[in-house]
Amino acid sequence: MNEETTFDAIVIGSGISGGWAAKELCDKGFKTLVLERGRSVEHLKDYPTALMHPWQIPNRGRMSKVFLEENPLISKAAGFGSDNAHFFIRDQDHPYIQEKPFDWIRGYQVGGKSLTWGRACQRWSDFEFTSPHRFGYGIDWPIRYADVAPWYTHVEKFIGVCGHPDGIEAMPDGDFLPPFQLNCVEAALQESIRKNYPDRHLVQARWAHLTQPKEIHRQQGRGQCQARNLCMRGCPFGGYFSSVSSTLPWAQKTGKLTIRPHSVVHSIRYDEKTKKASGVRIIDAETQQTLDFSARVIFVNASALNSNLILLNSRSDRFPNGLGNDSGLLGKYVAFHNYRASLHAEMPGFTDRYYFGRNPTDAIIANYRNLHRQDTDYLGGFTTFLGAYRPKGRLEADDPGFGADFKKAMTEPGPWQIYMYMQGETIPKASNHVRLSSGQTDPWGIPRLITSVGYDENDEKMTQDFLRESEAMLQKAGCTNIETHDNRQAPGLDIHEMGGVRMGHDPKTSILNAHNQMHAVPNVFVTDGACMTSTGNQSPSLLYMALTARAVDYAARECRAGHL
């Protein structure tokens, strides 16, 4: 039987932004093909560990020594374990070349990394959209907060974001469900910061969890978050947003969606006559067969580095160095978030207090650096995530190792602990780039990606400032035994790689315009992390979703007008 090969739209990738592209395109009547290089995953059906008890998980969640030796890269990923290893790829599954150390974390399946993302959903403010221009780094964003604000709302209402309207200029309010409440120690730290630092704000962060589902969420078949904090196994309740629980099933209900797993995208084909992309070439991961699919509009949402790889490999007489690469900037100005710094401390007192459930969210201190003016010796800012908890079973070295007293001690909570960690902006630079290898290929015959991305002096200064300021805030709150850490991890473990196909005003200095549309190939749109002009300090996924919905709306209008 012949496979259908012609569609109105093709979406490359089924993760957070790809799922949104599929939903919006199908809602607007486009017959849409979603290409996913990994296996099929269906909501509920393919969450094998979701309801297991800890003692039912192999090695209580730890990986075997053999696995760790064979997979030194993926085993570093935050939250990775035997309960969710099936949502990550093994190191050998897609090799690449690290010119500088870069830990590329990938999840190849329908739903992509939306199954394992952190779920933080802060809006960018105009500070982030204007900072590169105001402070002279990178290039100016071609959009501002006002351009994206209604699309933020559009996305928040559909996915469900819990939070509290705090009126913070650096972190705009959104359309929120009720937040998870701060516990007593987090509230005490909030009050101390309010008293000692009037310009700093500790609040409940914004997270993609259904604390109080609305009708739109029930229509998706999703239910209330149960505060299990087992999200990375896949949520059988649909309590947090993922492509497989939300956008892709919604798109399927329109009858317009085709999802094709095991489809490794080789390149986007360019038509010299029409001066547009004509379709996408794939290699079937199971049969090794090369297939071509055609469409009027193409959305590239393969995750930032894979999107760069695909575009760099999409070569033609017109574009010998990669699709749309007239400026020569494709693959350059790759950036990421700095997660190196963290703190841990004890908070005396409050031992008569505890909390209910396993809160799957952190609190947050909104960025307070370099807002209206540059007030440090570095550029950019950082978001601070934090939380307080009481560990169980705190034993001293000379405590007995068995018996009733041992069991009693293991079930009683210890003193309160506080953790803090940074999510810092990094500055895009041409030297931080990815490119294709000229001599080495991957298992599908596609050139391997070379990563050449590293830290700089700006990152070092920001890291030290975060540690100093955070330690001072904990000291003023009365914390003891404060420990500061700089783990100096390689870029990539933040899983927030961005850039390489950046937006901008000028085709000479950017690849995409203000609508995420390629300057040189008007029917190709890039709306995942590759499109980012700068990184900001907030978690980026909500922005990817908003930019995607906005770009689909524009593409649909251009199609109706006969321009695409």
User: Going from the N-terminus, what domains does the chain have, and what CATH number goes with each?
Assistant: 6-560 (3.50.50.60)
Q: Are 422 and 384 in contact (CB under 8 A)?
A: yes
Give the Å distances, CA to CA, from 359 to 193, 219, 415, 468: 22, 25, 18, 28
Q: Are 564 and 558 in contact (CB under 8 A)?
A: yes
Q: How are beta strands 263-271 and 433-441 bridged, if at all?
A: unpaired
Collapse the DSSP code of 385 into the 3-class scheme (helix H, G, I; strand E, B; otherwise coil) and give the result.
strand
d(CA 116, CA 284): 25
| Structure-block tokens of residue 103 | 């830990």
Output the CA torsion 187→191→193→198 (10° steps): 140
d(CA 175, CA 169): 16
d(CA 172, CA 96): 38
Beta bridge partners of 338: 424
Q: How are beta strands 341-347 and 480-486 bridged, if at all?
A: antiparallel
pLDDT digits (tens, 9 = 90+) for 456-500: 999 999 999 999 999 999 999 999 999 999 999 999 999 999 999
Burial of 228 (C-beta count, 10 Å sphere; 0-12/13-18/19+):
middle
Using alpha carbons, select from 329, 334, 293, 327 the residue that is nearest to residue 520.
Answer: 327
Q: Are 192 and 473 in contact (CB under 8 A)?
A: yes
pLDDT at site 411: 72
Collapse the DSSP code of 266 into the 3-class scheme (helix H, G, I; strand E, B; otherwise coil) and give the result.
strand
Helices 541-560 and 16-27: crossing angle, nearest 10°?
Answer: 30
pLDDT at site 551: 98
Ranges of residues in the chain with a pLDDT under 50 are 1
d(CA 187, CA 25): 43
Helices 145-159 and 541-560: crossing angle, nearest 10°?
Answer: 100
pLDDT at site 407: 72
Count the residues in the chain: 564
DSSP string, 462-523: HHHHHHHHHHHHHHHTT-EEEEEEE--PPTTTTS--EEES-B-S-TTT-SB-TTSBBSS-TT
d(CA 43, CA 40): 10
Does the pTM exceed 0.75? yes
The number of angstroms, rounded, from the C-alpha of 561 to the middle of its chain's C-alpha atoms is 34
The number of angstroms, rounded, from the C-alpha of 260 to the middle of its chain's C-alpha atoms is 23
User: What is the identity of the amino acid at 526?
Assistant: V
Q: Are 542 and 279 in contact (CB under 8 A)?
A: no
Q: Could you tell me what percentage of the chain is helix, strand and coil, using 3-state DSSP and rounding each to the nearest 5?
A: 25, 25, 50
Give the Å distances, CA to CA, from 127 to 33, 141, 341: 37, 11, 23
Give the Å distances, CA to CA, from 2 to 88, 255, 279: 32, 20, 18
Q: Are 372 and 400 in contact (CB under 8 A)?
A: no
| Structure-block tokens of residue 236 | 């059988």
